[in-house]
């Protein structure tokens, strides 16, 4: 999907739908705006349900101050206007009240942006603007003063967050990323002490580049590959809706035959991926004109070493990631289903996925279908795409249960004798 080809009103409706659907704002809270090439500002309206916003509800405030539309512009229009005046490089602004970021705003702290890589890259530096009455000129001045320093992601004391970017999708990416980071830190503090990455580790991760690969021109596509592409997109969309993926984070792949496979592309919005966006890898070469995930060589090596693996998912599920950013141990011996599907889950050091792919690939076996990477991700394998996705869901549900149990008492795990019974009953290798 070419998001940039959509009319500003359609972009605002699409992103507001996502913000509201995923519980990041309320019926009356939050507002989005876009400054177009004419200098006109398109903005969400005042007093209209955010859960049923339509393109005809969006208001256009012309450069001369006249208003075109059926409604009044958002009461927060003054700070949008002031930010655009101070930062002419910005083309879109997003303001919302997601609970996790509101929690930080009311204790007046900035979330740790070093728990996982890419947060600083996507969000840039994060700062706090002083409190003022919503809709007031003073609030606009307070926020704009922070934006004038070159900062694009601004928490508001006792209020919420404002993000500016070149376009609305990039603003949403930064918003979604910082919200994930905030939720992760809050959950991590429930079970331990969050372990941050060093700046050196973050800098190394930034240097990951798209993998240079020779290209090939597909001569055709089989019915089996068409089905695989369709099924993969269905589960990618489900993963996004469940919060297991984010807009640009999360990778699926599925083996086609031998070591050929299809994989998600780099840098495309997971919510709207279509079968034609997926990238075919054949004999170590990539489908012409497409850019595969930067983890493509790791997927390739896993398939080469493990004939029993036919699907791989790299994801950042929020509850599982709590165990990746703390010293807390993820114990799969919670309920029978968890142990049967997850087995043992070793942890490898941060950076292994791009600096020691051979070691990571060799970590998998029939008894070890999942590997956790410190401060980065979880890698899930399966005999089929659905089997891998099932394991991902079970891992996230198990992690949620472990985090909740930490506030109730000591976890009583399934013991060795009970594990032996499960292995015998379910013929686990």
Per-residue pLDDT tens digits for 32-45: 999 999 999 999 99
Number of separate domains in the chain: 2
User: What's the whole-number mean pLDDT along residues 65-82?
Assistant: 92
- Helical residues (DSSP H) of 312-365, grouped into ranges: 318-324, 336-342, 352-355, 357-362
- pLDDT of 248 over the 90 cut: no
Whether 176 and 276 share a structural domain: no
Amino acid 129: pLDDT? 98
Phi, psi of 163 (to 5 degrees): -125, 135
Whether 50 and 186 share a structural domain: yes
User: Tokens at residue 396, please?
Assistant: 């996230």
Q: Which of 159, 191, 223 is the last residue of a domain?
A: 191
Q: What are the Cα distances from residue 200, in Å, to 114, 204, 357?
A: 11, 6, 20
Residue 208 lies in a domain: no
Q: Which residues, in sequence order, are CB contacts of 272 under 8 Å at separation 6+?
A: 1
Residue 328 lies in a domain: yes
Whether 144 and 232 share a structural domain: no
Does this model's pTM top 0.85? My answer is: yes
Residue 210 lies in a domain: no
Residue 198 lies in a domain: no
Whether 219 and 275 share a structural domain: yes
Whether 184 and 245 share a structural domain: no
Per-residue pLDDT tens digits for 181-240: 999 999 999 999 999 999 999 988 877 767 889 999 998 899 999 999 999 999 999 999
Q: DSSP for 134-151?
A: TT-HHHHHHHHHHHTTT-
Residue 205 lies in a domain: no
User: What's the whole-number mean pLDDT along residues 295-317?
Assistant: 97
CA distance 393 to 278: 22
Rounded to a whole number of angstroms, the distance between the first and last alpha carbons of the chain is 44
User: What's the whole-number mean pLDDT along residues 116-143?
Assistant: 94
Per-residue pLDDT tens digits for 342-387: 999 999 999 999 999 999 999 999 999 999 999 999 999 999 999 9
Residue 395 lies in a domain: yes
Annotated catalytic residue: which of 76, 185, 374, 396? 76
Whether 25 and 163 share a structural domain: yes
Q: DSSP for 285-325?
A: EEETT--B-TTHHHHHHHHHH-TT--EEEEE--HHHHHHHS
Going by the DSSP 8-state scheme, the letter that residue 49 receives in this structure is -
- Among all chains, which residue has been given the structure tokens 């013929």? 427
Map 209-260 to HEC letters. CCCCCCEECCCCCCHHHHHHHHHHHHHHHHHHHCCCCCCCCCEEEEEEECCE
User: Tokens at residue 202, please?
Assistant: 């973050």
- pLDDT of 410 over the 80 cut: yes
Whether 99 and 239 share a structural domain: no
Whether 182 and 286 share a structural domain: no
Amino acid 209: pLDDT? 67
Q: Identify whether 157 is a catalytic site residue.
A: no
Indicate the pairing of strand 41-43 with strand 31-35.
antiparallel
Residue 199 lies in a domain: no
Whether 185 and 227 share a structural domain: no
Domain that holds residue 223: 215-425
User: What's the whole-number mean pLDDT along residues 110-138?
Assistant: 94
Residue 202 lies in a domain: no
Q: Using DSSP, state whether 378 is helix, strand or coil.
A: strand
Task: Identify the CATH number of the domain in which residue 291 sits.
Answer: 3.40.225.10
Q: Closest Cα to residue 197, out of 355, 347, 318, 350?
A: 350
CA distance 296 to 286: 10
Q: What are the Cα distances from residue 294, in Å, to 263, 387, 410?
A: 10, 23, 40
CA distance 97 to 308: 46
Whether 166 and 234 share a structural domain: no
Question: What percentage of the chain reaches a pLDDT higher than 70?
Answer: 99
Whether 273 and 326 share a structural domain: yes
Strands (DSSP E) found in 17-159: 31-35, 41-43, 59-61, 67-68, 92-96, 126-129, 153-156
Whether 23 and 166 share a structural domain: yes
8 Å CB contact between 104 and 363 = no
Amino acid 259: pLDDT? 84
User: What's the whole-number mean pLDDT along residues 326-334?
Assistant: 95
Indicate the pairing of strand 215-216 with strand 285-287.
parallel
Q: Closest Cα to residue 371, out of 286, 269, 298, 291?
A: 298
């Amino acid at each position: 999907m070419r998001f940039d080809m959509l009319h500003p009103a359609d972009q605002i409706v699409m992103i507001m739908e996502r913000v509201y659907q995923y519980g990041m704002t309320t019926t009356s809270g939050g507002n989005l705006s876009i400054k177009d090439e004419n200098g006109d500002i398109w903005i969400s309206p005042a007093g209209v349900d955010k859960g049923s916003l339509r393109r005809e509800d969006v208001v256009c405030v012309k450069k001369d101050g006249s208003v075109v539309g059926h409604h009044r512009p958002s009461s927060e229009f003054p700070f949008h206007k002031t930010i655009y005046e101070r930062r002419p490089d910005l083309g879109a602004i997003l303001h919302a009240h997601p609970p996790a970021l509101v929690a930080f705003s009311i204790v007046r702290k900035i979330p740790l942006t070093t728990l996982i890589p890419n947060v600083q890259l996507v969000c840039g530096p994060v700062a706090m603007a002083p409190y003022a009455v919503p809709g007031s000129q003073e609030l606009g001045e307070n926020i704009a003063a922070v934006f004038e320093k070159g900062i694009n992601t601004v928490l508001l004391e006792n209020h919420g967050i404002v993000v500016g970017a070149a376009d609305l999708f990039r603003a949403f990416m930064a918003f979604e990323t910082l919200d994930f980071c905030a939720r992760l830190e809050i959950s991590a503090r429930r079970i331990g002490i969050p372990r941050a990455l060093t700046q050196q580790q973050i800098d190394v991760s930034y240097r990951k580049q798209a993998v240079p690969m020779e290209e090939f021109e597909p001569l055709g596509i089989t019915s089996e590959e068409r089905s695989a592409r369709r099924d993969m997109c269905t589960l990618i969309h489900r993963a996004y809706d469940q919060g297991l993926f984010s807009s640009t984070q999360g990778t699926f792949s599925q083996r086609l035959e031998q070591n050929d496979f299809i994989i998600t592309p780099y840098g495309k919005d997971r919510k709207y991926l279509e079968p034609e966006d997926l990238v075919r890898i054949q004999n170590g070469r990539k489908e012409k004109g497409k850019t595969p995930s930067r983890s493509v060589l790791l997927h390739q090596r896993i398939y080469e070493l493990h004939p029993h693996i036919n699907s791989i998912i790299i994801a950042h599920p929020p509850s599982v990631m709590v165990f990746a950013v703390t010293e807390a141990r993820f114990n799969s011996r919670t309920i029978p289903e968890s142990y049967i599907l997850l087995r043992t889950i070793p942890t490898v050091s941060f950076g292994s996925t791009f600096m020691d792919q051979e070691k990571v690939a060799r970590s998998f076996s029939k008894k070890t279908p999942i590997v956790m990477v410190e401060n980065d991700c979880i890698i899930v394998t399966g005999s089929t795409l659905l089997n891998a996705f099932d394991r991902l869901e079970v891992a996230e549900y198990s992690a949620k249960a472990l985090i909740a149990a930490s506030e109730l008492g000591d976890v009583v795990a399934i013991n060795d004798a009970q594990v032996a019974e499960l292995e015998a009953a379910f013929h686990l290798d």
